[in-house]
Amino acid sequence: MFVQKGLLIVLSGPSGVGKGTVCSVLRKEQSDIVYSVSATTRSPRIGEVEGINYFFKTREAFQQMIQNNELLEWAEYVGNYYGTPRRFVEETIQQGKDIILEIEVQGALKVKQTYPEGIFIFLIPPSLAELKNRIIHRGTENDENLIRRMNAAKEELKMLKYYDYAVVNDEISKAVKRIQAIIEAERLRKERILPYYEQWLKEEL
């Protein structure tokens, strides 16, 4: 019996598009997908929990993680560091479980170098005006940060071309269904089964 490696799924998209919201619904609906918890130097928002939303780190502790090669990738985003703990990702995939990394575009491109077989999904807003509305309504950013995130968003949206799938987050439930459909189809890719299949065909009856 072979354990097939799990899928590595990367979900990116501009701040406020709904990555966190969509992921939390996916998390509830699909317990067979594991979520990678990132390390960050950003301060916790109200309601965010250490080890669930992020591992909150000082800049010194984060730099130590980089030096120890503990991060699969890391990037600076709007003045803070964010990074993916490497070991958890490697172990999860080796165990045959699928994992989602919710990370920004620079980090996603680094992951693509290590895992070209990864599945890269880009969540896009119905419009830039709607994106701005969502960030304002979330109520977590001051005016300066809102502008910085909107500027970052425009740059990030240009990176869609490096991704495999573009999912519009018009309605949360629809966006979740689209992502589930992608995962379901990717699980059935023939490339995942061919090595084992050829082995089976050699077995004596």
Ligand X SMILES: Nc1ncnc2c1ncn2[C@@H]1O[C@H](COP(=O)(O)OP(=O)(O)O)[C@@H](O)[C@H]1O
Ligand Y SMILES: Nc1nc2c(ncn2[C@@H]2O[C@H](COP(=O)(O)OP(=O)(O)O)[C@@H](O)[C@H]2O)c(=O)[nH]1
Q: Using alpha carbons, select from 81, 113, 100 the residue that is nearest to residue 35.
A: 100
Q: Nearest-CB residue to ligand X?
A: 18
Site string for ligand Y, 63-102 (x = CB under 6 A): ----------x-x-x----xxx-----------------x
N-to-C CA span, the chain:
16
Positions that interact with ligand X (CB under 6 A): 13, 15-21, 134, 137-138, 169, 171-172
Residue count at the site for ligand Y (CB under 6 A)?
A: 17
- Least distance (Å) between residue 46 CB and ligand Y: 13
Instruction: In whole angstroms, give the CA distance from residue 33 to residue 56.
Output: 23
Q: Is residue 15 part of an annotated ligand binding site?
A: yes
54: alpha, beta or left? (left if phi > 0; alpha if psi -120 to 50) = beta
Instruction: In whole angstroms, give the CA distance from residue 86 to residue 93.
Output: 11
Q: Which is nearer to ligand X, 95 or 173 (CB)?
A: 173
Q: Is residue 14 part of an annotated ligand binding site?
A: yes
Q: Which is nearer to ligand Y, 69 or 198 (CB)?
A: 69
**131-to-14, 19, 74 alpha-carbon distances in Å:** 8, 12, 25
Q: Which residues contact 18 (CB under 8 A, 6 or more apart)?
A: 123, 125, 134, 169, 172, 175
Q: Which is nearer to ligand X, 15 or 40 (CB)?
A: 15
Site string for ligand Y, 5-44 (x = CB under 6 A): ----------xx--xx-----------------x---x--
